[in-house]
Structure 1
Amino acid sequence: MEGEKHVSISFDVFAEPSEEERVEFRAEDSESCSFEFQVTEAPPRFVRLISDYSTFVGASVCFQCLVSGSPRPSVCWYKDGVLLEGDRYCEQEEQNDITRSLIVSSEEGRNEGYSSGLQLPDREKTLEFELGKPVYFSKAKMKIEDEGKAPVFLKQVSDVEVWQGDVARLSVTVTGSPTPKIQWFLNSTKLIPCTDCKLVFAGNDHSLILPYAGVQDEGEYTCVASNVHGETSCSAQLHVRQRKPGFPCFAREPDSVRCAPGFTAVFEYTVVGKPCPDVLWSKGSEQLFSDARHSIAHRPDGSGSLTVWDCVEEDTGLYTCRAVSALGEATCSAELLVLPKERVVTLEPAELVKGTNPILQCEVAGTGPFEISWYKDKKQIRSSKKYRLTSQKAVISLEVSSFNSADVGEYECVIANEVGKCMCSATYILKGQDWEKPYFIKLHFAEGSASLEIKHLDANDAGVYICRATNSAGSKESSSTLFIKGLAICFIFLGILLIL
């Protein structure tokens, strides 16, 4: 009709099962229209696919997928293309029939392939179109390991006795396949990790750590290791010795020290107790006193130190600090390690035969790890086809392949550790070759005349020499042959006159 407006609108609808929608359109001049529609069919699809599994003999597994479609799709499960039936397979539907699960109970081990198929129910013919039964699949594999092993304790937990307030550590070593689950119990009560009870592990080693053991922590501790193949346990007792009021105790224990010869090592501590304990130091079975090499300080507040002056390698060892009072004593120890500097069996100069593969060796003594570098004429050498660098215990080697005139020069080995470094060097020449300082060939050019001066001629200098003059207009060459007649020749000039 005249004056009527016609608008054509198209849009896509993403369907969910039996979901009704109302769409409203409104123009800028406030004219609007609306209509309702209902999605009656939507193909099945996997919102989430099933995943591969790897498990062990005796275990159960659950495959799970998320599906959608309208009408509600039927779900079938297959293993290697065969429809699954029987009591071993349990199908579940959850969350408004969207989540589907297949639980497979234990059976003998083998690799198995599972799939989930979605299929729409039969639909009637409409006009000339016939709707079939589209089927959609999600596939996954389950790998069952043929071998498994029940947990076995390689090291069982042992009884522990500590002073009140000290650290208590109970440890086991256990193996099994799959990796066992570890649980700790105190007097049959399961322990939960917290600040006062830490559970740590590294590989097959597992530990229960009580940072501040108290009387309430005494009792029987049991470690239980379990997996799908079995369970085992071991137990031990923790005894906590109570400290009497004023009993000596180290609030700060001395730290171990590493230093180079000639340096000073200091061990510091803080001890508490009432009355304030006396402190004694010893190295091994030898008691230490203040002297020219040692200084012992103990202050009324319980802090103190042991100082070792000008350390030498003989000072290396375990130092023990004892705090003693009428109520008892407490001890602690720290180690002093004096790292020796490297001592090198040096390289020796040598004349080497051309074409041989010489091995340059030096020997080092000291505390590793070492950083080793080789140099030729101050330029660092890297491992290559020409050079082979090796280090075996104290022997350090450099092998030179097919030694020739280009390899002649000074070789240097530099060895370093955290204390310092040392080096040795030697010069290697070809056998029968005189070693002399290098000299320069001189070139002269002045007022159109150019010359080449060669000093200290030998037989190798004989041959044809070419002089080439070049400018923007072109180039010109002139050649001359040099013959060596005898040792009496000291130098020669070869010259040409350039006409420019």
Structure 2
Amino acid sequence: GKPAKIIEKSEVIQVTAGDPAILEYTVTGTPELKTKWFKDGKPLPASKKYRISFKNNVAQLKFYAAEMQDSGEYTFEISNDVGISSCTTSFTVLDRTLPPFFTKPLKNIDSIISTSCRLDCKISGSLPMTVSWFKQDTEITASAKYTIHFAEGSASLEIKHLDASDAGVYICRATNSAGSKDSSSTLFIKEPPSFIAEPESQDVLPASTVRFKGTFKGTTPLTVKWFKGDTELITGGACYIMTEALASSLELYAVKPNDSGKYICKVSNVAGSITSIANLFVKEPAAFTEKLEPTHLVKKGGYAELTCKVTGTPEIKITWFKDDRELKESDKFRMSFTKSLAVLHLTDVETEDSGEYICEARNDAGKDTCSTIVTVKGVCDVQPLKQFVSLNSEFQSMEVLKDSDVILECEVLGTPPFEVFWVKDDKPVRSSKKHRISTEKSLISLHVFRFDASDVGEYQCRVTNDVGSCLCSSEVTLKG
């Protein structure tokens, strides 16, 4: 079954001596329901002064004419096989000439600016009674700002749209024919923080000192925290934070491009918190991500394209120099700079166009340079050494001992890069256990290990570069 339960009740009843009064409770639960009544914790004695009834789930204690000594705490209890429930009612019988008194006086209250607050109290005493409200000595009247309420012994004052001037002492005055009584409370207004001056976003050069500063108002004490993104900052290293009562500053020393980002100032107090975001952008110096090739070999009358890649914060200015003299746009020199790619195009080159070409990239944050050596050539020479005869003479035959190691070596004069081909009796020679081919700068060699009859023959070396090729050869035979 359902447990016995009180669903409607009277908690505080106040009547004047001689008046009738009813304490009433509505209950629920599965029968059989049993009722009990107590006064001040003791079973209520039988009396002709009142009548007790329980009908249709409504229990009543009815006083025909209340007397002063009937005042007290009345407890009603309802029970069945599955539960028990009770409720206590404070019953006060007043003398007809009882002056007002506060059963629940006003309390001090903290509230936040721009919100609403309510001052509450409870009053007993003979009716009729009037209630007045005062701030300091000035009476408050109902208006859009003030709502005044008084009913059944409860008095309240609601104050809307609080501002700093609403702070102070409030008095509730209850008056009847027997006298008057005051209760007072102090209203404290807490102001959440707000910025007077917010930290400002900044674009700076690398290695600068940056200072973000905020000033604010609000009820002290205020707590200030600084963040970069989600990470809280603390004083130390290249960061210094200074906070006063109503101001705070963040200093960053010798900033780098990776110090760029969002810097947040958060100010809090008991009434709330507020944040402000300032952006820091540290300019990135101009720098080459891909430099010019170290050397360029160009055929006389031909063309060359010098390219390099640049990074950095715009605007970047590109300047080209040849042997420290600035180049200007002309038929021979055409310059472009798009999508980080800097290009110098040389056309119809002459021998005197050989030299060092320098590209300079510059912006507010710094500069960088890279260079290349351009050589304008029309020839390639090979000078044989040791076993190789010179190109101007007849091929020289050469005799070697069986099982000896033979080295054919020549020096190349000309402009790299070179392509080298070795041939024996018109068949290509490749690196193997028998042959080792090496090229070190201008020195080219073929090493033949444990020379035997199968190695006898004519050895040729062909060297090629962008502008020509050369050939030298030697006949190698066995001794004896």
Give the TM-score band, short-chain normalised: 0.3 to 0.5
Larger Rg: 2
Give the structure, 1 or 2, with the largest relative contact order (CA under 8 Å, sep 6 or more): 2
TM-score (norm: length of structure 2): 0.39
TM-score by length of 1: 0.37
